[in-house]
């Protein structure tokens, strides 16, 4: 249902673009409270961009001039029909999602502690935590290690090798729903100033965005395993973790090289620059 809502939202956006209405260029969420009020008023027959822009609420009111420019378009009868159908379908999906959330919450009532633990991971919402638990359960004793969980979930690259060369890195089959949840969380984490965000940016430079997102999704699953196994909340390592780790590793390598050349090395921090 969530995926279908996202697809319908994309169709709504394409229909708006066909009318030359550039609402998405100004608002963050075309289904947010202000944008939805504008769309409903537009479909009711009001086309004056000034009137529509004045429906903006909160901080969006500061963008009324940009909204007026974005709300100038050509809305034909078939556009009205399509936009109305998409919005109606989204409302129906929102209702179904809300009912499903209530049902999930009722079933996971006894697992509230586990949900709260996963919710401490950056980019993991309560809904995502509930979805992950619905797939992997709360008892990590069923998996000998985090690696076994990742392999079971299909979140590990394939290991098909020949003559020492890896022929492909296709992930093993697993739960497509779990993978989608983890990748959505990875997308959110990539935009944060956290350990997971730093991991994404570091890997994306060398391996590309797609592989970096998969790696972050894998990390989120491994972190989830350890939190559920140890019953402890997530401890943030910080966005500078990799820089500090690489600095320590470089320092260690250079000291070892000098020692092998016969030197005794005693490191002292440099005095602060005056």
CA 40 to chain centre: 29
Does the pTM surpass 0.85? The reply is no
Nearest to 182 by CA among 174, 232, 141: 174
Residue 94 has pLDDT above 60, yes or no: yes
User: Higher confidence at residue 230 or residue 28?
Assistant: 230
Q: Where are the domains of the chain?
A: 2-107, 110-156+172-230, 240-269
193-214 pLDDT, tens digit per residue, is 999 999 999 899 889 999 999 9
- Return mean pLDDT, the chain: 85
Q: Sorting pLDDT into bands at 50, 70 and 90, what band is 250? A: confident
Distances (CA, A) of 24 to 17, 20, 30, 53, 64: 9, 11, 6, 13, 14
Residue 239 CB: number of other CB atoms within 10 A? 16
145-198 pLDDT, tens digit per residue, is 999 999 999 888 654 444 444 444 555 567 788 888 899 999 999 988 999 999
């Amino acid at each position: 249902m969530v995926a279908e809502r996202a697809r319908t939202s994309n169709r709504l956006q394409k229909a708006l673009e066909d009318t030359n209405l550039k609402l998405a260029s100004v608002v963050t969420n075309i289904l947010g409270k202000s944008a939805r009020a504008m769309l409903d008023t537009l479909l009711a027959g009001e086309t004056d961009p000034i009137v529509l822009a004045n429906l903006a609420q909160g901080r969006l009111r500061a963008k009324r001039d940009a909204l007026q420019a974005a709300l100038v378009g050509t809305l034909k009868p078939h556009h009205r029909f399509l936009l109305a159908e998409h919005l109606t379908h989204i409302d129906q999906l929102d209702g179904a999602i809300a009912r499903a959330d209530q049902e999930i919450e009722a079933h996971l009532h006894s697992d509230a502690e586990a949900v709260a633990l996963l919710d401490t991971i950056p980019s993991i919402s309560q809904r995502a935590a509930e979805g992950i638990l619905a797939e992997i359960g709360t008892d990590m004793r069923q998996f000998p290690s985090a690696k076994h969980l990742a392999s079971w979930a299909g979140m590990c690259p394939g290991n098909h090798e020949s003559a020492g060369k890896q022929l492909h890195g296709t992930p093993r089959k697993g739960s497509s729903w779990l993978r989608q949840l983890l990748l959505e969380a990875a997308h959110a984490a990539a935009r944060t100033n956290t350990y997971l965000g730093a991991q994404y940016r570091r890997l994306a430079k060398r391996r590309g965005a797609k592989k970096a997102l998969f790696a972050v999704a894998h990390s989120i699953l491994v972190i989830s395993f350890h939190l559920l196994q140890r019953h402890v909340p997530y401890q943030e390592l910080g966005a500078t973790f990799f820089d500090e780790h690489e600095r320590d590793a470089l320092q260690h390598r250079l000291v070892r090289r000098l020692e092998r050349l016969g030197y005794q090395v005693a490191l002292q921090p440099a005095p602060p620059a005056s």
